[in-house]
Structures are given as C-alpha cells and as structure tokens.
Structure 1
C-alpha cells in the first residue's frame, strides 16, 4: 500500500534536485500504474492526483510552469493517470458483476445439484462435480438420489450440449426424477417416464433447434437384496470394484439415451448384479473417461480404480479428483461428475443380537 506514495516521494525529490532539462516527471506514471495492480478505483484516483500534484509542485519550484515542453509533460502525465483510473473503474465493475455471477452459480448448484448425503439407507455414498468452465459451478452433468419404502435409487446423467440450455434440461430431468423415483414402479418404468419428460418438454433444444437428449444410468439398491438393478440409457457403464478387480456392469445392450425412446419402443432392459458388503460401485460421466493429457492419451479410469480397492467412497472420489486434474494439467475440457457407492449396513446393537439368540 505504501509503495505508490514512496515512488511519488522519491521521484519528485530526484526531479527537484536535478537540473530542469533532466525530465524525470514521466516516471511518476509508475505510481498509479502500480496502484491499479492491487487496489481499487478510489486509491488509484488518489495516487493519480498526488502524482500530478507532485509534478506541478516540482515545476513550480523550478519556475518551469508555462514552459511548453514542461506543460506538455504534465498534461501527458494527467492524461495517462486518467486512463489508468478509468481502466481501474471498469475493471472493478466487471469484478463486481463476476462476483454476483459466481454467487448465483453457487446458489444454483446448491439448489439444483446438491451433494448427496453421506449415507442413504444401507449405502455409504460420496459425490463430486467438476465443472469445465472456471467460473461456472454447474453444467450439463447431473446426479440425484431418492428413497422408496424398500430401496435406494440413483441417477447419473449427461445432457447433450453446453451452456444454460444444458443446465435447464438438467433441472427439468432432476425435477422429473425427484417427482417419480420414490414411487414403487419398476426401474424400466422410471426410465420410460424420464424419457417422456425429455421428449415432450417444449423447451428441450429450443436454443438452436437441435434435438437434445440425455445419457443416463438408473440404479436401484434393495435394502435387503444384496444386489443392484441397472438400466443403462446410452451412458458409460458403472464400474464395480470387488477385491481389487474392476468389472463393467453392462450385461444387456444399452438403451438409447433419454429423449430418444422412440427408437426402442420405450422398452428398457433391466440387469441385476450382486452387490455385497465391501463392494464399491463407481458411477461417472464421460468427462472422466474422455479427459486427455497433453499427449492426447485418455484417462484410464479402470486401471486407476483398481489401485484404490481399500478406500471408502469419499476417499475414492478424493483420489479421483486429484488424479484426474493432474492428468489434464488442472483444466478439464468437459464437465465431469462421479458417484461412489458402498454397501455398509449399520452395525447391530449388542442387546438386539442377544435378544435374537434362542433359548
């Protein structure tokens, strides 16, 4: 904070002690320029006024006021200071607008794409969202969870396209999921309902007239089934980590993405997989597996996941986040989202266990 004032004092002193034909006054322009680098409009304006005032004082002391060359020098200093002050004012305004945009984006994320609870029924869950745009917190990737009377249902998806239109489509699909997923209909019925929501929404794809769709995976975890039901709608298949081995859950051919259900007549295949205690299931969007490093190599998620076999869901996503950003050099080309799920039933109370013993 003191550096601009020190500059003005030192330059003015040196200018006053040198002969009038040695023009050091233009160096005073450094003071408002330095101030603009770290301060706002008001302090930059104050330093600019002090710099011009100091130059006038030195010119008065040297009796050079009225000399055309010296007056031109002072006018140039004043004009440069005005430019710096105007630039600082415009920059501060843009910063305020950007701060407001960030606040709105953060609020929208909290409402639209809330982090999943750490525990849902008998499941331990963790979630992460990485936006490709540095100033955006949300995009076209989405995830959600809902409870029924007997199970937990998860959704992860990726809206085709980018920008506000993709965010709007994601909000529409999430609202439809939350409104229907808690019912007792089958998972294929839920997929058909979501497909209709995307297909018949009048706002879908209205930004450019192109058809818009959503790749998605729907999962249902029965509370007492030790299994998981999966319906895949054109999305990268979930990965199951079991005792250090990673397998893809893609037994049946993938159905078309949501919004393109007319191509399969609204029929969705339901797959059932064992999901035992200690197994870890990873759901992700294509922003993870399509991430490239500087050489163009894709991120090898399956190999990375196999090395995290003893980690909790939260630890797995922390490792995934750091490893993925390191792979791409800190900047993703596409949004990325992931959910890690592990079956972890609550421990039985000792008294309950004793009461269950015969005799």
Structure 2
C-alpha cells in the first residue's frame, strides 16, 4: 500500500502543475492497484482501489475534465479495473495456497522415500550430500539406505536409470524391497536376488501402464561383527576407502550387471570381501560425480581429490567434494549428485 501512495504523489503533483488542459495524467492512477494485486493481499488491493478512487475524485473535483462524459468514463474505468484487480488477487492467492498444499504433500511423500542424512545404525554412521538434478525435487534417481538387521547393518547405494520424477517409481520399489529383504535374508546374495525380482516386477507393471522399463545400478554392502565386509556390486561405481590418512579404491572385482538385467548375465553375481576396520570411512559416489565433466570435456578427478582431502574430517569431505565438483563443472549438473560417507564406529 505504501508504494501505491508513493506512486500517487508525483502523478497528482504533475497533474496539478501542468497548465495544458489537454494533457491529463490522472488516468494513470487507474493502473496502480495492479501492483498489490500481483504481490499483495486482497485487503491491500481493496485499500489501494479505494485510495485511487478517492484521489481521482478529489483531483477531478479540483480540476475537472472539460466534459462530464470524460469525468464519468475515468471513474467507471477506475472502478471496473479496481474490482478486476481484487478478483485477480483473490484467484492468485487461492492458486498459491493450492500449490503450497500440493508441494507440502509432495515433500512429505518424498521424505518417506529417503531418510534425512545422517543415518545412524549400531555399526556405522552414514552422511554426505544428495543433490537431485531437478532443483524443485527432493528425490531423484539416486537412492540410499542403511538398515539394522539380525545379520548386521545392510547398506544400499543405487542409481535408477533416468532422473527426475519418472525414475522415482522404480526408486520407491527398490527402497521398499531393500528395507523388507534386508531384515529377512541371511545372505547378501539372497538379498540381491530379492532386489532383482523387485525391479523385474516393477518393469512388468511399467509395461502394462506404458511406462519405460528401467534398470538400477546398485552397491549392496553388509557390515557385521567381522572386520571383513562383504559387498555385491551391480554395475555401480566402486567405492573408495579412507583409513589412517590413506585413500584406496575398494577391490570388488568386475562389476556385475545392473538390477533388472540378470537374465543377460552369463554368470551369477558374487560377493566380494574387503577390510573395513573401525574408524575407517567408505566413500560411495554416483555416476553424477564419477562421470561429471568440465566445459572442456575433462572428467572430474575424483580419486585425486579424495587423496588431497584424506586428512580432513569425513563429515567435511562430502561438502568439499560437492563444492569442488560445482567449480569443475561450472555449476552445470546434468545428473543427480550423490556423495555418501560411511564411517564405521564398531
């Protein structure tokens, strides 16, 4: 309302100062209620309309048009446009409230899919950075989970083919299957078989609804009482280990095929074992990090950067990585970015 009054003053002063009776600026006041209608409340818009009608009437009484017809036209237009501004303001606010409700619901649903980091289990702490490529989404194609089971802590790092909303359905199917199977299956290979069937079932349903079939790259890790940790790699970028200031690539052998494509593999997936002592940190990044390129086409030097940061806190590492990756790509992210650090506490 204040800026409507502020805009009114110079127009009225110019109207009163100009001697030429053929030049009239007062009709410009009719447009001012459009501003509170666009950004303000209905009450503010009504006040603005009332203020403009009072000012126009006062000015026309002091300095009327030569014709009473012109006088009436200006007042009628001011009233009609004022009512229109109030209606538009009401419709805008109602639409904004509906969009807010929809977004709040979407946020709640997406929060049920991926738990907020950090995640604490009886053996590890999982923290890091998760940045979907679509800025208005909380969940993209990358997924993660940590579950405490009778067989130790089970970890899932995955990447659904595609990104954005179309990938969320497959991501939800994967997470639900993992959370249930991680509690039931005693072996990691049996857990992976359950995840494979979950993706197959999702793709069968996708065919019925006309949606494209998708595969999922995944790394499934089992951490139990032993210092040797088991993992099954289903086409996911291999992780790195930071221990005692040293960075090493975790040897998992040849990666298996992604989940959903087991029928194309000549051999079944196998379990790899690697040392994961207490106090060590496992780093898993999605292909949004490992395949990120600069404007000149240079891949992001992930291992080189990790060696540079080997001595810093693991909780700072993921933030440093995301900031450095943004500089490397000049902020042009073409895929979901996930950088997770898993600190073994027991």
Q: 1:218 aligns with which of 217, 220, 234?
A: 220
Range with greater deviation from structure 2 (91-100 or 267-276): 91-100
Match of 1:334 in 2: 335
Could you give the per-residue CA deviations for residues 104-134 of structure 1, whole angstroms, max 9, x where no partner exists? 2321232111125543223232143212222
Match of 1:308 in 2: 309
Q: Is 1:323 the equivalent of 2:328?
A: no
Match of 2:24 in 1: 23
Residues 72 and 290 from structure 1, CA distance in 2 versus in 1: closer, same or farther, beyond 3 angstroms? farther
Separation (CA, whole Å) in 2 of partners of 1:94 and 1:250:
54
Separation (CA, whole Å) in 1 of partners of 2:102 and 2:186:
40
Could you give the per-residue CA deviations for residues 141-174 of structure 1, whole angstroms, max 9, x where no partner exists? 2111112334211001111234444212111111
Separation (CA, whole Å) in 1 of partners of 2:209 and 2:57:
58
Separation (CA, whole Å) in 2 of partners of 1:294 and 1:59:
63
SS at match of 2:184: coil
Q: For 1:235-254, what aligned pairs fall within 5 Å after superposition?
A: 235-254=236-255
Q: Is 1:203 the equivalent of 2:218?
A: no
Could you give the per-residue CA deviations for residues 36-89 of structure 1, whole angstroms, max 9, x where no partner exists? 564234423431342244223312322227455665566666666566555544
The Cα shift of 1:276 comes to 2.5
Q: Is 1:286 the equivalent of 2:287?
A: yes
Match of 2:59 in 1: 58
Separation (CA, whole Å) in 1 of partners of 2:264 and 2:70:
81
- RMSD of the TM alignment (CA)? 3.0
Whether contact under 8 Å (2:163, 2:336) holds in the other structure is no
Separation (CA, whole Å) in 2 of partners of 1:43 and 1:293:
49
Whether contact under 8 Å (2:128, 2:319) holds in the other structure is no
Residues 311 and 100 from structure 1, CA distance in 2 versus in 1: closer, same or farther, beyond 3 angstroms? farther
The Cα shift of 1:332 comes to 3.3
The gaps in structure 1 that reach 5 residues or longer are 346-359
Whether contact under 8 Å (1:102, 1:135) holds in the other structure is no
Range with greater deviation from structure 2 (120-129 or 21-30): 21-30
Residues 39 and 144 from structure 1, CA distance in 2 versus in 1: closer, same or farther, beyond 3 angstroms? same
Whether contact under 8 Å (1:165, 1:207) holds in the other structure is no
Residues 252 and 104 from structure 1, CA distance in 2 versus in 1: closer, same or farther, beyond 3 angstroms? same
Match of 2:149 in 1: 148
Residues 77 and 291 from structure 1, CA distance in 2 versus in 1: closer, same or farther, beyond 3 angstroms? farther
Match of 1:111 in 2: 112
Residues 96 and 131 from structure 1, CA distance in 2 versus in 1: closer, same or farther, beyond 3 angstroms? farther
Separation (CA, whole Å) in 2 of partners of 1:65 and 1:205:
75
Match of 1:351 in 2: none
The Cα shift of 1:214 comes to 1.0
Whether contact under 8 Å (2:318, 2:339) holds in the other structure is yes
Separation (CA, whole Å) in 2 of partners of 1:72 and 1:294:
60
SS at match of 1:63: coil
Match of 1:2 in 2: 2
The Cα shift of 1:327 comes to 4.2
Whether contact under 8 Å (2:160, 2:170) holds in the other structure is yes
* Matched residue count: 344
Range with greater deviation from structure 2 (106-115 or 257-266): 257-266
The TM-score with structure 2 as length reference comes to 0.85
Separation (CA, whole Å) in 1 of partners of 2:281 and 2:86:
57
Residues 292 and 30 from structure 1, CA distance in 2 versus in 1: closer, same or farther, beyond 3 angstroms? farther
Match of 2:256 in 1: 255
Residues 299 and 41 from structure 1, CA distance in 2 versus in 1: closer, same or farther, beyond 3 angstroms? farther
Match of 2:33 in 1: 32
Whether contact under 8 Å (2:251, 2:274) holds in the other structure is no
The Cα shift of 1:22 comes to 2.8
